[in-house]
Amino acid sequence: MRGIRLALSALGLCSFSALAESILKDGAGRDWPYSATPSTVASSFLAGDEILIELVKDTKVKLVAVSSVADDHEYSNIVGLAKQVPHRIGANPESIAKIRPDVVFLASWNRPELQKTLLKLGIHTFTISEFNSLEDIQANIILMGKVLHLEEKSRQMVTWMHQQMPQRAKRNSTFITFDASGVSLGKKTILDSLMNRLGLENAVTESGWPKLSAESIALRHPDYILTSGETRDRKSVELLIKKTPGWNLLNALKTGNVLLIPNRLLNSASQFVSLAYAHLDSLLNKSILLKNKDPNLKSPNNEPLK
Amino acid sequence: MSKAFGFLIFSLFLSLLFGYGTEPYWILEAVRGRLPEEALQIVLNIRAPRVASVFLSGMALSAAGVISQGIFRNTLASPSLIGVDSAAVLGGSLVIFFLPTLMFPISIPLAASIGASLVTAFVVLIQRKRFKSTGDLLLIGFGLTTLLGGLTSLVLNLSTSAPMKSQMLLHWLMGGFSNSGWPEVFYIGGAVFIASLVLFPLCSKLDALALGSDVAQTLGIDIDRLRTITVLISGLLIGSVTSAAGAVPFVGLVIPHISRLQLGPKHHPLLRRSMIHGASFLLLTDLLARTVIGPEELQVGVVTTMIGSPFFLWLLYKRDKPYA
């Protein structure tokens, strides 16, 4: 009898610990105890929009709202697909309350009051907080898959990303990112992680998005300057860099080693980062992928890479 | 005067000597003719134009402060009171928000200058046609500044969905000389040169105005004309600095106060001393902005406020005679 009791209590402990493991925590540190499968979902940030639009495709979960940035050609990789999503939401809780989705994905930069207000209105929120590396993006996809009970689909997306971004051998070259605002992307950023996978080292060893002094830029000696822009704008971009103190002294500019990548890929924090990888890989290998119509490059949504 | 001038030379020397890109003894190497090419490039192409821009901007902002306080007969007046810098900031903000990055180097200074010129012209016209008193001019300026500030906030608010744009706007609003090159030096230098030619001969008229409008009129001074000229020159000075560096707060308001605490209210010495103090102050604050968290840098507007305000409060506390 005692043995049965022990066995039962052990079973109880096991099931409790299994339950504890199964409870998700969001980026705001809140438990996600809901077990029902959501039928409608919304996102308040672009990376969430891009992940969800692929994640819920051909499933019973309906994406009812995305952020308004999803329609912006400059930043969004899903302009075409977003047209099928009926609503747009912003930081205004009323816009979300009107739609009443089962779950709203928020980003850590959304104001905490928004989450509180939505919870008061009985709308479940899940906050995504990490956007610092390729691994973070993959973890976010898995996390969102768990919330929506679409774990298998999310794993497929992550596997697809892995396949699209093989680790390249070290090239013994460094890069630096140029932006008109004066900030450069440093360590612990998605782009740093992406370029490391392409075999390049960041000349900016500081973390985050530091605003470096012009004199410090001039001393970094990067082999490549990476910046946002379309290929047709190359001359204007180079002129802009040339006019910026510090940057005009870099050899990378003089030798024309300026890598241009569309803004929507440069700042991507979703699975579309794999397109940024392909784009930069092709530039680094001195071949223009799009001109050659490489059959290996496929967008997750089969949207053409502009 | 010699102490202030000596301090300016000292500030100029420090600003040229220190920076992230060279060791402080670079000047000795330069004298011996052994300065590495890289250090030479950094000093000539980055540091020297920046220091020159800062030097001239300090002069411009302080001079604009002195004449604003003179014409408004109010020591709390600052050049920003008629809305010129708010207009320049709005012009630059609109460019950052609406235009592609590629157009920034030309369009930001251009839009800022246009904004500053339009508001200056508007203020001059409206005060000549409709409002005659200095008090009215002050109120017009207040209304314009509030309106333009609100519009800039609107642009900032709308930009939050595009993080890089909002970041650019924030940097623009805080002011900084990180993009200053030789063209900015000539632009601001030209404004300071013209302003100096016009303003110094007007100092005696501003002195008379300080005694009251009636006294000034009795002495044959055309107050309307004086007001128009000072508003135009103030617009030119503030517009040139803001278009090159964004909004640089504090200098135009407080440097004239500090000079007045030392010299009293006479405009000729006050203008001269304020220009020297303004240049020294901005040189030192910019030096801090670009070195204190090196290799990163702070926006100079942050440093001018953080250093200048406590210093000014301390000066007020230490004064031993009533404030003129």
pLDDT in tens, A132-165: 999 999 999 999 999 999 999 999 999 999 999 9
Q: Please give the structure tokens belonging to residue B171.
A: 């940097």
Q: Residue A251's closest chain B neighbor by CA? A: B38
CA distance linking residue A179 with residue B168, whole number of Å: 9
Cβ contact, residue pair A249, B46, below 8 Å: yes
pLDDT of residue B136: 80
pLDDT of residue A243: 86
Cβ contact, residue pair B163, A181, below 8 Å: no
Cβ contact, residue pair B45, A248, below 8 Å: yes
Contacts of B324 (CB under 8 A, 6+ apart): B260, B264, B265
Higher local confidence (pLDDT), A156 or B235: A156
Higher local confidence (pLDDT), A65 or B122: A65
Cβ contact, residue pair A69, B161, below 8 Å: yes
pLDDT of residue A74: 87
Residue A286 has pLDDT above 80, yes or no: no
Helix (H, G, I), strand (E, B) or coil at B65: helix
* pLDDT (tens digit per residue) in B310-320: 887 887 787 66
Average pLDDT, chain A: 85
pLDDT of residue B1: 59
Which residues of chain B lie closer than 8 angstroms to A218, CB-CB? 21, 38, 41-42, 46
pLDDT of residue A55: 96
Partner residue facing A249 (CB), from B45, B101, B164:
B45
pLDDT of residue A16: 42
CA distances from A155 to A34, A41, A146, A271, B25 (A): 21, 19, 10, 12, 58
CA distance linking residue B133 with residue B145, whole number of Å: 18
Cβ contact, residue pair A229, B162, below 8 Å: no
Residue of B179, B92, B38, B44 lying closest to A243 (CA atoms): B179
- Under 8 Å CB pairs connecting chains A and B tally to 102
**pLDDT mean over A91-107:** 90
Q: List the single best residue of A179, A181, A240 to mutate versus B (max B Cβ within 10 A).
A: A181
Partner residue facing B290 (CB), from A179, A213, A237:
A213
pLDDT of residue A287: 41
**Alpha helices in A58-148, H assignment, sequence order:** 79-82, 93-99, 112-120, 134-147
A245 and chain B: CB distance < 8 Å anywhere? yes
Q: Chain B: nearest CA to A173, how far in angstroms?
A: 20
The dihedral of CA A46, A149, A35, A6: what is its sign? negative
Partner residue facing A233 (CB), from B102, B295, B296:
B102
Which residues of chain B lie closer than 8 angstroms to A67, CB-CB? 161
**pLDDT mean over B208-217:** 88
Cβ contact, residue pair A243, B42, below 8 Å: no
**pLDDT mean over A106-115:** 87
**pLDDT mean over B282-296:** 92
Q: Are A3 and A113 in contact (CB under 8 A)?
A: no
* pLDDT (tens digit per residue) in A197-239: 999 999 999 999 898 999 999 999 999 999 988 878 888 888 8
pLDDT of residue B132: 67
B:35-54 residues touching chain A, CB 8 A cutoff: 38, 41-42, 45-47, 49-50
Report residue A153: phi and psi, to 5°.
Answer: -65, -40
pLDDT of residue B323: 53
Residue A53 pLDDT class (50, 70, 90 cuts): very high
Cβ contact, residue pair B178, A182, below 8 Å: yes
Cβ contact, residue pair A216, B102, below 8 Å: no
ipTM over 0.90: no
A67 and chain B: CB distance < 8 Å anywhere? yes
The dihedral of CA A201, A202, A206, A207: what is its sign? negative
**pLDDT mean over B212-240:** 88
Query: Structure pTM?
Result: 0.80
